[in-house]
């Protein structure tokens, strides 16, 4: 018999009855029914019930061993009585009559309970993450992540992609988020940077002639935490393809995402394809965000011109957008005020509203101001009887978007227009190449390495603010999974694009010399994308926070509470890499 186990704790079934077996695992739970002791033994694979009677040589020790101790149990498999079968356990038809017991790993008093799973603070959970990961929910999430990554790797390989590894120690990037810097011992005063993404390397792989690349790539960015963003590091499905247009990238990624979500989604969840394509400017007008949650089907409508015809002073000289929420005829005044209160929480001073009656008559706080436009308003909004109308006004579109993007989703939920158990993907396309800053300068809107739609001709002959880029985002349920683009593979077009954004040729060569050098030696048209693994798993696990899908995440303050990182280092270590630490006055010891 094996030293530690003949079977796992999730393996034994009714056909094993009568066999002598040995299991090892953690004491998950214990119940003493006065004359019969039940212990649930847990390992990575499942739970098996162990029983012992007072006459058993292991009864006393088994009744005292603390929960979460590691034990080895030897005994005979027996069938449970029909009334004691547990249909919720794969091993629920059997139990082990314990004959021998060995304590393999003792435990101190637990700082948090593994079973049942209580509401422990995140700080304590992350400090004792090795215990937190024993909990069923976290164990499932981490295993889901492993299975998703394995499935994606298989799918990408089947689609003809080759996996390559790109450097972790690289040069600092002048664009994007803050870098994590690594001082060089061999080159005093110089620094490596951890890659924010393998962007330049994967493009150079295309220049080198490798046609289809992918990598489950670690990325490092010194960013603040959010519910859907882990500070410090994250992983993405990094993809690049040669000789492709936007549609080719979409086809591959839709296949991979749709099949992955269908394979791993929870029971009853729905996903449909192909994914709708929404131009960026439409997304901002309809949803107030370029990350729309399409589980709420309602769209906003610009009604500025209609209110310009009224005497409603509160909206005078402002942009006005309206949201029509159907099916609220039975909702009381409290419903409408509640949406207004939610808007105030988002920073609004208030939210005007109307209600459409059975005869089309408008009632509500601003009804007296819209009489002359009521028919046109209902027509523009497609609003019939029983519809609630909510209005937000501001001098700036940005303020309307900041308020109304969450209000649209919240109103949909409260009114019953929210699709439960659905994954609603979309592509956001046609991003503007440039935008104007508050001080009047032209700068890149998003990715400066995207190919402008229309190429050099557009850069030479169009208003920069009207130029669109071959850039796209993939969004699911209001979560941006990734940005991507058809790359600018022409040095001449890149020089001109940067010139419009205020960079001279020397600036471009100083900051992006490596990329430009590669593009000057025969670069194919290419494009790619990099959906976030952490966010994919977060959606599949239906978790509200990305840290619940990462085995060892940093906390909101970018700290590893379990390992004590970031930590102090010795003066000798600093001397080895030719640097010294200069602390701000408020943090000096």
> Which pair of tokens denotes residue 286?
């309809």
Average pLDDT over residues 121-144: 97
Dist. CA 508–CA 501, nearest whole Å: 11
Choose the weakest-confidence range: 13-22, 474-483, 513-522, 579-588.
579-588
For the chain, give the longest Cα–Cα distance.
93
Dist. CA 475–CA 483, nearest whole Å: 9
Nearest to 54 by CA among 34, 72, 80, 68: 34
Q: Which domains does the chain have, with CATH numbers?
A: 14-105 (2.40.50.140), 136-267+530-574 (3.30.930.10), 296-418 (3.30.1360.30), 426-523 (no CATH)
To 10 degrees, the CA torsion angle through 564, 567, 572, 577? 120
Average pLDDT over residues 533-537: 97
Dist. CA 501–CA 174, nearest whole Å: 15
Q: Could you report the per-residue pLDDT of 518-527, keeping only the tens digit for each?
A: 999 999 999 9
- Kindly report the three-state secondary structure assignment for every residue of 10-39: CCCCHHHCCCEEEEEEEEEEEEECCCCEEE
Q: Could you report the per-residue pLDDT of 81-99, keeping only the tens digit for each?
A: 999 999 999 999 999 999 9
509-538: burial string, b at 16+ Cβ within 10 Å, e else: eeebeebeebbeeebebbbbbbbbbbbbbb
Q: Could you report the per-residue pLDDT of 97-130, keeping only the tens digit for each?
A: 999 999 999 999 999 999 999 899 999 999 999 9
Rounded to 5°, angle at Cα 75 from 72 and 80? 115
Dist. CA 265–CA 476, nearest whole Å: 13
């Amino acid at each position: 018999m094996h030293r530690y186990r003949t079977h796992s704790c999730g393996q034994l079934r009714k056909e094993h009855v009568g066999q002598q077996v040995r299991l090892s695992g953690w004491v998950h739970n214990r119940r003493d029914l006065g004359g019969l002791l039940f212990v649930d033994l847990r390992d990575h694979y499942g739970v098996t019930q162990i029983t012992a009677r007072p006459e058993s040589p292991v009864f006393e020790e088994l009744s005292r061993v603390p929960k979460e101790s590691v034990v080895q149990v030897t005994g005979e498999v027996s069938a449970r009585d029909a009334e004691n079968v547990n249909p919720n356990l794969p091993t629920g038809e059997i139990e082990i009559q314990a004959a021998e017991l060995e304590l393999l790993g003792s435990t101190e008093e637990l700082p948090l309970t593994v079973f049942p799973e209580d509401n422990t603070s995140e700080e304590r959970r992350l400090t004792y993450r090795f215990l937190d990961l024993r909990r069923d929910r976290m164990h499932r999430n981490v295993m889901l992540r492993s299975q998703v990554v394995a499935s994606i790797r298989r799918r990408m390989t089947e689609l003809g992609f080759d996996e390559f590894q790109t450097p972790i120690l690289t040069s600092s990037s002048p664009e994007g988020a803050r870098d994590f810097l690594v001082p060089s011992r061999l080159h005093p005063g110089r620094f490596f940077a951890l890659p924010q993404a393998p962007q330049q390397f994967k493009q150079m792989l295309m220049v080198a002639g490798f046609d289809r690349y992918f990598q489950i790539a670690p990325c490092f960015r010194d960013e603040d935490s959010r519910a859907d963003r882990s500070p410090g590091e994250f992983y993405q499905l990094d993809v690049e393809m040669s000789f492709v247009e936007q549609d080719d990238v979409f086809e591959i990624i839709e296949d991979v995402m749709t099949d992955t979500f269908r394979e791993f989604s929870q029971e009853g969840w729905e996903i449909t394809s192909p994914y709708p394509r929404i131009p960026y400017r439409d997304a901002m007008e309809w949803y107030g965000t370029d990350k729309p949650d399409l589980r709420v089907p309602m769209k906003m409508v610009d009604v500025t011109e209609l209110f310009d015809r009224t005497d409603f002073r509160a909206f005078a000289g402002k942009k006005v957008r309206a949201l029509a929420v159907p099916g609220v005829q039975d909702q009381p005044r409290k419903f409408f005020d509640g949406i207004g209160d939610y808007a105030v929480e988002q920073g609004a001073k208030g939210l005007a509203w109307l209600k459409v009656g059975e005869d089309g008559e408008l009632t509500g706080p601003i009804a007296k101001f819209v009489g002359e436009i009521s028919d046109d308003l209902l027509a523009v909004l497609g609003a019939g009887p029983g519809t609630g109308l909510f209005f937000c006004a501001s001098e700036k579109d940005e303020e309307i978007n900041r308020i109304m993007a969450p209000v649209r989703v919240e109103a949909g939920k409260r009114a019953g227009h929210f699709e439960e158990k659905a994954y609603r993907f979309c592509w956001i396309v046609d991003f503007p190449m440039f935008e104007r800053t508050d001080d009047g300068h032209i700068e890149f809107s998003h990715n400066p390495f995207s190919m402008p739609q229309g190429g050099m001709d557009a850069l030479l002959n169009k208003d920069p603010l009207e130029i669109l880029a071959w850039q796209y985002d993939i969004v699911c349920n209001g979560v941006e999974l990734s940005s991507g683009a058809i790359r600018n593979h022409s040095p001449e077009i890149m020089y001109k694009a940067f010139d419009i954004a205020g960079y001279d040729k020397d600036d471009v060569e100083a900051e992006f010399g490596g990329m430009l050098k590669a593009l000057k030696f025969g670069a194919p048209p290419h494009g790619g994308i990099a959906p976030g693994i952490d966010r994919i798993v977060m959606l599949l696990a239906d978790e509200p926070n990305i840290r619940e899908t990462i085995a060892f995440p940093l906390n909101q303050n970018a700290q590893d509470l379990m390992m004590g990182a970031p930590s102090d280092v010795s003066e000798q270590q600093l001397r080895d890499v030719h640097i010294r630490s200069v602390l701000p006055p408020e943090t000096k010891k």
